[in-house]
Structure 1
Amino acid sequence: MDVLNQTLAEASPHDAAARPPLGGVFAPPTPVENRLAMPAQNLFKFDSRHRRRPAAPKLGYIPWLSRLVTFGGGAALTVYGGNEMYRVIDVGGVTTLKWALLALFVLNFSWIALSFSSSLVGLAALLRRPSRPARPTSLAAKTAVVMPIYNEAPSRVFAALQTIFEDVEATGLGEGFDWFFLSDTTNPDIWIAEERAFIEIRRRLGAAGGRVFYRRREKNTSRKAGNIAEFVSRWGGAYEHMVVLDADSLMTGETIVQLAAAMEADPDSGIIQTLPLIINRNTLFARVQQFAARIYGPVIAAGLSEWMGRDGNYWGHNAIIRTEAFARHCGLPDLRGRPPWGGHIMSHDFVEAALIRRAGYAVYMLPTLGGSYEESPPSLIDLSARDRRWCQGNLQHSRILFGSGFHWASRQHFLTGIFGYLTSPLWLLQLLVGIIIVFQASYFRPEYFSAEFALFPVWPRFDAQRSLELFALTMGILLAPKLFGLIVAIHDPETRRGSGGVVMLLISTVFEVILSALLAPIMMLIQTGHVVHIVFGFDTGWDPQRRDDGSVPFSAIVRRHRSHVALGVLSLVAGLLISPSLVAWMSPTIAGLILAIPISWLTSQRWLGLAFRRAGLLVTPEETNTPHVAKRGRALSKILARTGEDEANCILAIHADPELRSLHETWLPARKPRQRGQITADRAVAEAKLADAETIEDAVQWLNRGERLVAVSDRALISMAARLPRRGRPEAAAAE
């Protein structure tokens, strides 16, 4: 056990005598402000004369060949597929329904054709085996590493940031970085737990802890985008760059210093994005996502990087940003109207990338840099909750798509995000139209001779042989990116060995393909529901993401998927009544829907995911040879979680710890004196309950969450709580 773990194990955080004194280590929780103006941009007015000229034009390039292969190849495949589909339905003439089927097919086929051609470019890029950049020996500029947090478990996020901090320090370049927890937390218990965790992380890091800061906003205006914007506006002037993390991010020190060095070496860069790999997942569902991201993700990312060039996109985290450029050009306006289409921009990252690119800065990805990690939802239900948020944000981009001055590649990124969710209702419509056509042919007498003169009757049928060939082509193009990823994984010795060898890689890939095929119709209905809700004006809200590996209650799974099962049974019965061949054609879709409840339940189980891991299935190199930051972060998080303070009652916490209470009061923002007659209900009730309480246990029992938030935000109420005795102590007995 190292010194840090020994200290944590032996010193109780509740025992003030066991802890070293604060001394001079504890500077204010935030540094001196160094403001940058961050005006809201006009999305629909832009004077191209104000676009910045490149400072290093030799670094600029346009990847014409990659774009020709990606978009030319995708277009050619779409034309070929559309022509083949026309021949399939042209037997005996094309009706209105057949035209509708053709249009829907072309829309869906174009999506997978573009993905295929982009992945083909990625395959070629990765087979060249690009070399990693050398580690820099010095950095000239100061960089802020910022982690926005919102009602997260403090033991996880503080352990993660400390792990990254230590790894950067190990490079010898740690003096070039400051570290910020940017809290938007609204839960009062987690807020006080964050402050306690902040005190402890500074104490653990000693003198270096003075470069770790904590700020909490009272109102989480514009959510994550507003959180980052507030940081930039107050402290951005002190930092040339900022590395933006997510609450589940992990990055190695080497990767962070290489990002900073890349930004310094390229004065025209605005955003440099890494490829985060998924780690630390244990449920079967999350392990399938983790395997797919690790094996197929690099090919997809490399293809995107190749054709995007310096006109790339931003995924909101695990990236470095030029702070002054971001402040000047990436202030986000609110969209007119009410949510879900109006209000603040939810998927802010795409828009920020488009704005900084519009201003003349480069945005690009380093997909092979490595050392960048994140986590993923542990179950299908958790993914659905996150997906609904993303769906609203991406569909909102339809209002920004035709903004002024955007690069065509930025518009393509918007379209990709929009179409990524529209494919589900389009696929559902394609299935429904196909069913209607088969139903019409089976149960309605066709009009063999139309009103127009014809030598031959119009037979309502398809070209079966060509239909099978087109189906095979579609499946081949859909699965090709997975095959490309498998080829790269086998070709790379480290990935091949880390995934269990060729045989286990093949078995894992087959299992992932089968499970993904069963999950696909469920996700189709889930995403279609999201789109319908948003189209009809329902806002999704913004709940914190569940990041643990706990299983979902079976009752919740049944409630979520019972409609999917009912639709699957209905499809099976209707298909059997119409045509047995229709059931065979739709069997993957019907099977996925009928089995939705057991699939969702089984894949959410941690024990099953761990059983697959022990069997060597769905294993990734990051599990076989776990990165140091992942080991350290996981171990430290477990140690901190054992204190049980993540969601301890905030009133009890500040009552029991005078040091915490003193610092908390010091860190509260200055408030204007309350005007007479202006009393909020929560404050009045909280004050009355504290006045009635005879012990601190009474206060803890009586104050609800909203009242606790008011109580720990008000120095006078904190003082009232602090004076209350503990039940059973002499002071309490004397008071009685």
Structure 2
Amino acid sequence: MRNGAFPGQTALLRLLTLTFAAAICLTAGLAFIDLIGGNRPGWLDWVRTILLVLTGFWLVWGSMTGIIGSFAPKRRPRGDLKRPEGKTAVLVPIYNEDPYETFSRIAAMNRQIVARGLADRFHFAILSDTTSLEVAAEEANAFEWLMREPDAPGRVFYRRRERNVGRKAGNIEDFVARSGGAYDYAIILDADSLMEADAMVAMARSMDLDKDLGLLQTVPVVIGARTTFGRMMAFSSAYYSKYFSRGAALLQGNQGPYWGHNAIVRVRAFASCCGLPVLSGKPPYGGHILSHDYVEAALLARGGWKVVVDPEIAGSYEQGPENLIEYAKRDRRWCQGNLQHRRLLAAPGLKFWSRFTFLQGIMAYVVSPLWLLLLVASLGASLVPDNGGDRWGVSPWAIAAGVAVTLLLPKFAILLRGAFDGTNRLFGGWRVIPSVFAEILLSTIIAPALLAFQSRAVFQILFGFDGGWPATERDARSVSLRTAFEASWWITIVAIGAIAFMAMAGPDFLPWLLPVAVPALLAPVIIWASSLGEEQADKAWLYAAPSELAPTPIIAEADAILVQWRSHDPVGVTAMDSVGIHAPA
């Protein structure tokens, strides 16, 4: 099998990794119950041990993915750079977002495609679900600018739906139903996506060369970050993701992921397999599926198509949240979408690994309230007299040490691998070392607030609160201290209550609570402070990434086009509710 393990090797690697993760967690659980309960463990000891094993398994599993990826050999990217045989539509769904930023990126991608003489192979379709009339007017004006680009008329299309049924998935489904017959493949982007022409060509050629390939997912790198939080996330994306994705690719084989953007699909396969059900009942449990991408990948795999991730395809970019509030807002939607997947775990015909991916996505959020319950149970156990090893506060420190080792091992393994494969040189050489340690420190400080946001999201969904699909404020950067306080005051109140309770009921155990409680207490300050740094971003050397140190031509091109467009008053139409996207057959 080209660029991957054989099916038998993939199954064996899955079995070994799952067995190892389970063995580690069960061993840790037995050691923990012996430590805290001795020969006569109580019910609270068993509760904490079960919670530790459940949460620990997914922690170890994620760590193993990174470690496997850090040892995995680098493979050549799929496809090649020959002229594609098939015809590709580049789809850009948008929803109440800044059209000038999105359309300028499309203009940059179009210029590269045209310069390579591939205008007849790649068309662009902007699929708007915008509900704001003001933003819709801006989209129409930005499209007028876009029409001035080389070979744009007849190749670059725009349409706005009056009713955004099914949200993004419904938007793409609508295009496939109306115009999909004109294309062999579709590259699906987000409003903040940017992709090199070489990456698009390699993706299309992968489809040409492998007729069983239904979906090919790239690993996008976050660019354009300006704040401390945003640059930390961008550094993590650029430095760690490639290795974690290599490990995931080996485990997933041909039943890989789809993240909803920066991927190419075979239109025929997508049309025949990916009709999404509308779940019975009302949101958040029912209605349209929010995390549609995981489901579409599972349906393609069920239909016998390969679904593959290729972390070696370079030139795939996106933007990310610039502050923790925006991150939490996006995470809330993902949480609701992933929890919907519990209704699909037993869907007929799905591959085992598709079901496991659903379960993994569910546990990515459920594990946060489970950690919170473990913390509460440990607080309660600390107040029980003669409770074995807990009299000396051993178990909390043992848990903390185990979590730290599990989280840090893959990052240090990647740091070591990067020193030998040349990756560290791309990140500024020695500067990558303080960047890794700064990322570890900042992510640790942010972790209690993130755990609180995710736990609240899970509890809201369990109690039937629908979070909907809020528009993403991709240009939202620094936030005021007041805004941060309004978003996280409740975290501070909970932290104050926990500290006060322990100070009165169990002061001996207060020291091990403080590393979690103090960052939670300071959540508004941390959110505000981590959203700063925009003015110094150009001079900052911490979290330096290749996109900053040596920007690729398309990044510079997109920025230059945006500056040019913003420096002039928009011209064009005053309203353009519908511009045809129907391409010639």
TM interval, shorter chain, is: over 0.9
Residues 218 and 365 of structure 1: CA distance in aligned 2, closer, same or farther (over 3 Å): same
Q: Does 1:354 align with 2:298?
A: yes
Whole-Å separation in 1 of the counterparts to 2:489 and 2:227? 22
Instruction: Among all aligned residue pairs of Structure 1 and Structure 2, give the percentage whose two residues are the same amino acid.
Output: 35
Match of 1:579 among 498, 506, 512: 506
Contact kept? 1:118, 1:300, Cα under 8 Å: yes
- What is the number of equivalent residue pairs in this alignment? 579
Deviation of the 1:186 alpha carbon = 1.0
Residues 581 and 626 of structure 1: CA distance in aligned 2, closer, same or farther (over 3 Å): farther
Deviation of the 1:114 alpha carbon = 0.8
TM-score if structure 1 supplies the norm length?
0.75
Residue 378 of structure 1 corresponds to 322
Deviation of the 1:609 alpha carbon = 4.8
Q: Deviations over 1:478-537 (max 9, x none)?
A: 2212222222333332x32232222x2121111111111111111111111111111111
Deviation of the 1:337 alpha carbon = 0.3
Q: Does 1:424 align with 2:371?
A: no
Contact kept? 1:272, 1:366, Cα under 8 Å: yes
Contact kept? 2:158, 2:578, Cα under 8 Å: no
Q: Deviations over 1:253-292 (max 9, x none)?
A: 0000000000111111111000001000001111111111
Match of 2:27 among 80, 83, 98: 80
Deviation of the 1:133 alpha carbon = 5.1
SS of 2:442 mapped into structure 1: helix
Residue 553 of structure 1 corresponds to 480
Contact kept? 1:275, 1:301, Cα under 8 Å: yes
Residue 11 of structure 2 corresponds to 64
Residue 390 of structure 1 corresponds to 334
Deviation of the 1:430 alpha carbon = 0.3
Residue 542 of structure 1 corresponds to 469
Contact kept? 2:230, 2:322, Cα under 8 Å: yes
Residues 565 and 471 of structure 1: CA distance in aligned 2, closer, same or farther (over 3 Å): closer
Deviation of the 1:404 alpha carbon = 0.6
Contact kept? 1:425, 1:528, Cα under 8 Å: yes
Which residue type is aligned with residue 198 of structure 1?
Answer: F
Report the more deviating stretch, 518-527 or 565-574.
Answer: 565-574
Which residue type is aligned with residue 426 of structure 2?
Answer: G
Whole-Å separation in 2 of the counterparts to 1:492 and 1:171? 31
Residue 726 of structure 1 corresponds to none
Residues 542 and 549 of structure 1: CA distance in aligned 2, closer, same or farther (over 3 Å): closer
Report the more deviating stretch, 624-633 or 196-205.
Answer: 196-205
Match of 2:573 among 641, 660, 664: 660
Contact kept? 2:479, 2:528, Cα under 8 Å: yes
Deviation of the 1:143 alpha carbon = 0.8
Whole-Å separation in 1 of the counterparts to 2:569 and 2:335? 35
Q: Does 1:616 align with 2:541?
A: yes
Deviation of the 1:473 alpha carbon = 3.2
Deviation of the 1:466 alpha carbon = 7.4
Whole-Å separation in 2 of the counterparts to 1:568 and 1:285? 22
**Highest CA radius of gyration, 1 or 2?**
1
Unaligned runs of 5+ in 1: 1-53, 447-457, 646-656, 670-736
Higher relative contact order (CA 8 A, sep 6+): 2
Residue 202 of structure 1 corresponds to 147
Deviation of the 1:397 alpha carbon = 0.5
Residue 115 of structure 1 corresponds to 62
SS of 2:147 mapped into structure 1: helix
Q: Deviations over 1:320-341 (max 9, x none)?
A: 0010111111011110000111
Residue 449 of structure 1 corresponds to none
Residues 121 and 665 of structure 1: CA distance in aligned 2, closer, same or farther (over 3 Å): closer
Q: Deviations over 1:566-624 (max 9, x none)?
A: 2222222222223344222122211211111111101112xx25536624111111110
Residue 85 of structure 2 corresponds to 140
Residue 531 of structure 2 corresponds to 604
Q: Does 1:490 align with 2:419?
A: yes
Which residue type is aligned with residue 77 of structure 1?
Answer: I
Q: 1:293-332 maps to which residues of 2 (within 5 A)?
A: 293-332=237-276
Q: 1:444-523 maps to which residues of 2 (within 5 A)?
A: 461=390, 468=397, 471-493=400-422, 495-502=423-430, 504-523=431-450
Unaligned runs of 5+ in 2: none
Residues 508 and 460 of structure 1: CA distance in aligned 2, closer, same or farther (over 3 Å): closer
Report the more deviating stretch, 351-360 or 589-598.
Answer: 589-598
Contact kept? 1:282, 1:549, Cα under 8 Å: no
Contact kept? 1:329, 1:359, Cα under 8 Å: yes
Whole-Å separation in 2 of the counterparts to 1:69 and 1:665? 55
Residue 242 of structure 1 corresponds to 186
Whole-Å separation in 2 of the counterparts to 1:427 and 1:59? 35
Q: Does 1:342 align with 2:286?
A: yes
Residues 598 and 436 of structure 1: CA distance in aligned 2, closer, same or farther (over 3 Å): same
Contact kept? 2:160, 2:579, Cα under 8 Å: no
Report the more deviating stretch, 130-139 or 191-200.
Answer: 130-139
Q: Deviations over 1:140-162 (max 9, x none)?
A: 11111110011111111110111
Whole-Å separation in 2 of the counterparts to 1:337 and 1:467? 42
Residue 590 of structure 1 corresponds to 517
Residue 279 of structure 1 corresponds to 223
Residues 484 and 609 of structure 1: CA distance in aligned 2, closer, same or farther (over 3 Å): farther
Contact kept? 1:179, 1:211, Cα under 8 Å: yes
**What root-mean-square deviation, in Å, do the aligned CA atoms of Structure 1 and Structure 2 show?**
2.3
Residue 190 of structure 1 corresponds to 135
Residues 268 and 581 of structure 1: CA distance in aligned 2, closer, same or farther (over 3 Å): farther
Residues 489 and 557 of structure 1: CA distance in aligned 2, closer, same or farther (over 3 Å): same
Residue 556 of structure 2 corresponds to 631
Q: Deviations over 1:52-98 (max 9, x none)?
A: xx9x9x99734134323421221221222112212212225111111
SS of 1:385 mapped into structure 2: helix
Whole-Å separation in 2 of the counterparts to 1:102 and 1:59? 36
Contact kept? 1:59, 1:266, Cα under 8 Å: no
TM-score if structure 2 supplies the norm length?
0.94
Contact kept? 1:274, 1:319, Cα under 8 Å: yes
Whole-Å separation in 2 of the counterparts to 1:92 and 1:549? 55
Deviation of the 1:365 alpha carbon = 0.5
Whole-Å separation in 1 of the counterparts to 2:55 and 2:544? 32
Q: Deviations over 1:295-352 (max 9, x none)?
A: 2211211111111011111000000001011111101111000011101111100000
SS of 1:175 mapped into structure 2: coil
SS of 1:440 mapped into structure 2: coil
Whole-Å separation in 2 of the counterparts to 1:228 and 1:408? 27
Contact kept? 1:78, 1:106, Cα under 8 Å: yes
Contact kept? 1:250, 1:374, Cα under 8 Å: yes
SS of 2:284 mapped into structure 1: coil
